[in-house]
Structure 1
Amino acid sequence: MRYSDCGGLLKISFLGKPRIEFNQQDITKEFGSKAIALLCLLMINRNGYCNREKILAYLWPNSNDKSAKYNLRFNLWTIKKNVGLDGNGNEFLCVDRERCSINKDYEYQCDIALIKDLLDDNIDDLEDLETMRHFFNGELLEGYYFKECNEFNEVIIYERNLFEVAKVKLLLRLAKQYENRGDLDSCLNTLEETVKFAPYDEDIVLKIMEIYELQDKNSLAVIYYNTYKNRLVNLLGTQPSKKLTAKFYELSKRPSKGVKLGKTDFDTNNKQRICIKTKCINGIKYFWMASVIKSLLEVEGLQLEDYLTDTQLRDLSYIQPDIANSLGETSARTEVPDVRIAVAFVKLIEKISDSIRLKIIILAENEMDDFSRSLYEYLQDMRLHVDLISE
């Protein structure tokens, strides 16, 4: 079944900001929060039914019996009023004195229903998988929290976790299809998206390293391993598995012949290294520092967010606006104290040099601005794994 075959007059999205369309008209505003909650609850149980008493306990737990039943009748009426018959004349809801459910014969499209059904069917068609990927626009009922409805909120949290697992499963299937077709760039991008939801899944980390290897980008695989290892040590206090570490040593023993500007490779001792070229202009405060940051941003596979906090990166965006772009922000900070800029810059160089031999070529070093020179001299005194070379 392809998505183009699914449909009907009714379309519902619960992932991200809820949206309800009927006959190509957005009718979301016609539904209050409890009506949307009720609709979501019925959709989660679309292959069965919901007992009225259970719905009351979920959505109006602290109301008296008369008020709760009235609220349920009103919200059922709201749904029926705004969701008309489908193309075959079927009503959307089946309601009696005891139960409520979605009519199984009613034609509609709903993101959470499609995702669950197609994943259960083990769909591996690339077109279906790519379309499903776009349905994941956020969490289930994103931004919604229902006051005093503790049991219902627990249901939503549970379902959110299920959909996160479903997304990982979907992305892994998609990555496999890309790999089978030889589209290694798409495979890699998909795997890197998957890691955001399963950051400590070493099978995914290993697969990313293997894809880099297939692309003859062993140095990027090593960078990725080091980044993962640092995260593992700092956050969980543990080390990568023997299998992953063995892959790292295998790849790190394949050094390149020479270091290239803006690239990563390895020296004869298998030490990872990066070489960048920077410029100086006297009289323009921070210019050399900004040049260093810009050159680092251009190094393939090097992510500054792996070395600094968001706050530190935003501080540096004051002197190098390209950082704001890398963070997905539209503008850099307007004013930052010099001491914070200095601390963030030194920390960046220090953190990178912990795992990488950094070579910084400085053009026209005699033209370096005063503020940058003070930090340049400070870095020289720190005896880091940094080569500062004037040309």
Structure 2
Amino acid sequence: MAKLEIYLLGRVEILWQGESIIDKLSHKLIGILSYMAVNRENSFSRNKIANIFWDSSDSNSSRYNLRYNIWSLRKLFKDNNIKQDIFIADKESIRFNEEFNIYVDAEDFQNRLDNFRADSIDNLEHIRNLYKGEFLEGFYIKDSSQFNDWLFYERERFQRDYINVLAKLQEYYKSTERYQKAIEILENMININPLKEELYLELIKTYIQLDNRDLALHHYNRCCTVLREELNVSPMEEIKNIYKKIKKGEIKPKKEKKVSNIRKKESKLNLYYTDKSGLEDLLNRINESKDKEVIYTSTYPVGNIEYYWISEIIDKIIEKHKEESLKEFRRNYWNDLSMINSMAMEYSDNILLNISNEIINNKVFKALEILMKEIFNNKKVLIIINHFNGIDKKSLEFIKYILYRENIKNISIILIDKDKDHENMKEIRKYFKIEYFIK
């Protein structure tokens, strides 16, 4: 049976029989579909919808515009040999035809949330995965203030529900001592609200349970930096007190926690180290069938230039992939990447953002992770980092970020340098298992 799929959580996408039809729809028509899809069991007044989308027109003009847009959509499906009408309509009202096969991710999200059971963690994870980003991310209609007001409210509502889902998951993973999962959830929440102090406090406490004093202190300093740069305030007293206790060695993980067994993470992403002389043999071993896309990068002794390697990997991705696929990537993420890479500006809105360094980290890391995930998709990819020990600190943090989160599949990373005991190698080795290949 033919199926219409409407995805509103994140970048809007509309599929008909598995293929995108977004380029065949006007901005207004996308808005009308989205507005009706969120409550598709309802019947809508034609006057109300006409006024929402054409609030600057007189009533006759707005009604005509609505009729034309509805006719355009009906024609689209009739041209695809579908006899069933997508709408049930009369002169005064319009609604979706209940017999028309329609899936709406926002409706799925809401239904699962409404029917949530406390013991259904799999259901919560499914809800979490449905939320690909803000409701109708980056979308608005220039001359429809009523629609944009509604959009703002819905965006806030879905994000609030999503944060509540994350909070429930974080509490569950913490209570079952799955601390790495709890950390992942907390980082998601901080990406949404980097000024919420309680999230940093939970992150610090979780790293204490992992017996990782260094990262607990790192996230205290991270919290201080964000609050100082964004609000010009210091952390709340509870965070200051826990910091003092960590420094004095007064806080320890609960004794029954066997944290030593979970300190190092064996990433699902393959991680290798070699020196220059062993690279060819290592490549022959892990890419014998030549089925991996190889991306060769290098670092240089460039002092304190931040994001240098990150900028290079963005350059390589842009150079290697077709312009059409790059243009499909969400523009707001290109805006974030353009803060540190000039080639990304070609695909951005050229908006200069005045934000703190910590917020830049969150935005750039998330945007590059999603770019790599979408561009590489299910490909096998091999990233080579030559002179790894010269990598800048921001880029080193990003390497740790993607190794930890494992959201990008089928990637192998080769680190090349002479000194396997350099501080950068020690930093990676502290948290992740690495396979050494020395000739």
Q: TM-score, normalised by structure 1?
A: 0.60
Q: Which residue of 2 aligns with 1:151?
A: 146
Matched, 1:17 2:11: yes
Aligned partners of 1:322 and 1:204: how far apart in 2? 24
> What is the alpha-carbon distance in structure 2 between the residues aligned to residue 40 and residue 72 of structure 1?
14
Point out the structure with max Rg over C-alpha: 1
Q: Give me the whole-angstrom Cα distance separating, in 2, the residues matched to 1:323 and 1:292.
A: 6
Residue in structure 2 matched with residue 371 of structure 1 by the alignment = none
The answer for the alignment partner of 1:248 in structure 2 is 243
Unmatched 5+ residue regions in structure 2? 252-299, 309-355, 363-389, 400-421, 424-439
Higher relative contact order (CA 8 A, sep 6+): 2
Query: Cα gap change, 1:21/1:159 in structure 2, threshold over 3 Å: closer, same or farther?
Result: same
Q: In structure 1, what is the equivalent of residue 60 of structure 2?
A: 66
1:287 maps to which of 301, 311, 314: 301
Q: Does 1:174 align with 2:169?
A: yes
Using the TM superposition, give the Cα deviation of residue 103 of structure 1 relative to its aligned residue in structure 2, in angstroms: 4.3
Shift of 1:178: 2.8
Instruction: State the Cα distance separating 1:241 from its structure 2 match.
Output: 2.2
Deviations 1:123-182 (A, max 9, x none): 553333333323322333233331221121111122112222122122222223333443
CA contact (8 A) 2:307 2:392 kept: no
Q: Which of 27, 33, 41 pairs up with 1:33?
A: 27
Measured in 2, the distance between the counterparts of 1:57 and 1:207 equals: 47
Query: How far 1:101 sits from its partner (Å)?
Result: 2.5
The 5-angstrom pairing of residues 120-131 of structure 1 reads 120-123=114-117, 125-131=120-126
Give the % identical residues.
24
How far does residue 53 in structure 1 lie from its aligned partner after superposition? 1.2
* Residues 96/115 of structure 1: CA separation in 2 closer, same or farther (3 Å cut): same
- Which stretches in structure 1 are left out of the alignment for 5+ residues? 1-6, 257-285, 295-303, 311-318, 329-359, 362-391
Name the amino acid aligned to 2:223: Y
TM-score, length-normalised on structure 2? Answer: 0.54
Aligned residues: 277
The corresponding residue for 2:233 is 238
For 1:274-313, list aligned pairs within 5 A: 287=301, 289=303, 305-306=357-358
Question: 1:21 Cα deviation (Å)?
Answer: 1.8
Is the alpha carbon distance of 1:45 and 1:227 closer, same or farther for their aligned partners in structure 2, counting shifts above 3 Å? same
Matches within 5 A, 1:173-192: 173-192=168-187
The alpha carbon displacement at 1:13 in A equals 0.5
Change in CA separation of 1:224 and 1:181 when aligned onto 2, cut-off 3 Å: same
CA distance in 1, matches of 2:24, 2:359: 47
Q: Structure 2 vs 1, CA of residues 83 and 121 (structure 1 numbering), >3 Å: closer, same or farther?
A: farther
Q: Where do 1:85-164 residues align within 5 Å?
A: 92-103=86-97, 107-123=101-117, 125-164=120-159
Establish whether residue 212 from structure 1 lines up as the match of residue 207 from structure 2.
yes
Q: Does 1:225 align with 2:220?
A: yes
Deviation for aligned residue 1:40: 0.8
